[in-house]
Amino acid sequence: MAARPIRVGLLGFGGVAEKRHLPALRALGERFRIAAVARGDANKLAEAKLAAGVHRGYADWRELAADPEIDAVLVASPNALHADQAVAALAAGKHVLCEKPPAMNAAEAARMAEAARKHRRVLRYNFLLREAGESRLAQDALKAGRLGTVYHLRAQWFRRRGYPTVGSWFTTRALSGGGVLADLGSHVLDRALWLLGYPAVEAVSAVTHARLAGSAVAHELPTGRKSGMTGVCDVEDLAVCLLRLAGGVSLTLECSFAINRPEEPFSTELLGDRAGLRLAFGKPVVMYGEAGGAVTDTVLHPDAPETGTAGLYERSWAAFARAIEADEANFEHGTQGVALMQVLEAAYRSAQSGAEVRL
């Protein structure tokens, strides 16, 4: 007899939950069943229940976290709620899939990691880029030694006009913890560090700018129904960072919500002393090397080309299910979430002080 589906509660039902996670859960209907949703706005709670196809809804997220009929929760609320919601759910015996960035700071991420260890439950972060086909190809090439010793990485994500809704929690530092660096930057930074096995970061130097929030050109993303509008926009729209990693490896990170240059979705370059590798979403992976006295370009093709991010969400949920079904408490994500938040914190301190910050 097949195991029953994992019963999932949704903590937060904004655009990413409704437009991204909900379709992924439905596509994996044999493994998951959406059981309940929590949303503070009473009118929007009714809409959320209808959209999610559930009868149980909670205006107080604590009631959902304590619901004994729920096995796991998605934390897709404003970043300022991540730690409290995840810790409460873990303490109530729930497994947790949490949106990125992990939390507002490293101390909150450490609370989450400790709760997962204490209660022996799965805590994973929705680091989607790990699930991309090109990421797996790069990982295989690194393990096989095809790049030699990697000494530099470059991670980027540029939107020409792609702000989250200006005046929402996304652009309110007290609720988000930061702007594009915390949002897009956490994705590409995680992939770069993950490919290298999450080495220690020794120092961070960063610069941030806030320039184009008032652009006359429409730039807000269609991310679904909004609630809790603050009218505040006090976050950066461009971040540039230089990280010094253990072993003398360097990593540059550049990301922007709105910039006067062409779009460049998440991309990563790795430079090794035998070959280099460039990853760009939906495109073949190219390895740049040399052979027979000439430079060579070798194209590595994933099993299936990426046609959009929907598949990444499904793979993320499938990995979450495997972790739960294995009945093994794997605390790697929690530990890496703390390390990631330490870097983001250091980057913001560096940008504010104008000096390098050593970790």
**Is 95 in the same domain as 216?**
no
Q: Are 98 and 126 in contact (CB under 8 A)?
A: yes
**Is 210 in the same domain as 354?**
yes
**Is 159 in the same domain as 305?**
yes
What is the C-alpha to C-alpha distance for residues 142 and 135, in angstroms, rounded to an integer?
11
In this structure, is residue 328 part of a structural domain?
A: no
* Domain membership of residue 223 as a residue range: 129-312+340-358
Q: Please identify, among 102, 127, 152, the residue that sits at the C-terminal boundary of a domain.
A: 127
**Is 103 in the same domain as 222?**
no
Measured in degrees and rounded to the nearest 5, phi and psi for residue 261 equal: -165, 170
**Is 14 in the same domain as 98?**
yes
pLDDT of residue 281: 86
pLDDT of residue 48: 95
Sequence-ordered list of residues with C-beta below 8 angstroms from that of 53, at least 6 positions apart, any chain: 34
CATH of the domain at 32: 3.40.50.720
Measured in degrees and rounded to the nearest 5, phi and psi for residue 356 equal: -65, 145
pLDDT of residue 195: 98
In this structure, is residue 333 part of a structural domain?
A: no
In this structure, is residue 87 part of a structural domain?
A: yes
Measured in degrees and rounded to the nearest 5, phi and psi for residue 310 equal: -55, -40
List the structure tokens of 229: 């509008």
What is the C-alpha to C-alpha distance for residues 316 and 321, in angstroms, rounded to an integer?
9
Q: Return per-residue pLDDT of the chain as tens, 359 residues.
A: 347 899 999 999 988 999 999 999 999 999 999 999 999 888 889 999 999 999 999 999 999 999 999 999 999 999 999 999 999 999 999 999 999 999 999 999 999 999 999 999 999 999 999 999 999 999 999 999 999 999 999 999 999 999 988 899 999 999 999 999 999 999 999 999 999 999 999 999 999 999 999 888 866 665 545 566 888 999 999 999 999 999 999 999 999 999 999 999 899 999 999 999 999 988 889 999 999 999 999 999 887 777 788 999 999 999 999 999 987 667 899 999 999 999 999 999 999 999 999 99
Report the 10 Å Cβ neighbour count for 286. Answer: 16
**Is 13 in the same domain as 150?**
no
In this structure, is residue 326 part of a structural domain?
A: no
**Is 173 in the same domain as 226?**
yes
pTM of the predicted protein model? 0.95
Dihedral angle, C-alpha 12, 217, 159, 17, nearest 10 °: 10
**Is 99 in the same domain as 145?**
no
DSSP one-letter code for 247: G
Residue written as tokens 């897009």? 184
Q: Please identify, among 127, 161, 192, the residue that sits at the C-terminal boundary of a domain.
A: 127
What is the count of structural domains for the chain? 2
In this structure, is residue 319 part of a structural domain?
A: no
pLDDT of 42-87, one tens digit each? Answer: 888 999 999 999 999 999 999 999 999 999 999 999 999 999 999 9
In this structure, is residue 102 part of a structural domain?
A: yes
CATH of the domain at 146: 3.30.360.10
Q: Please identify, among 74, 94, 127, the residue that sits at the C-terminal boundary of a domain.
A: 127
**Is 106 in the same domain as 179?**
no
pLDDT of residue 1: 36
Q: Residue 233 is which amino acid?
A: C
**Is 159 in the same domain as 216?**
yes
Cis amide bond preceding 101, omega within 30: yes
In this structure, is residue 259 part of a structural domain?
A: yes
**Is 49 in the same domain as 172?**
no
In this structure, is residue 266 part of a structural domain?
A: yes
**Is 193 in the same domain as 159?**
yes
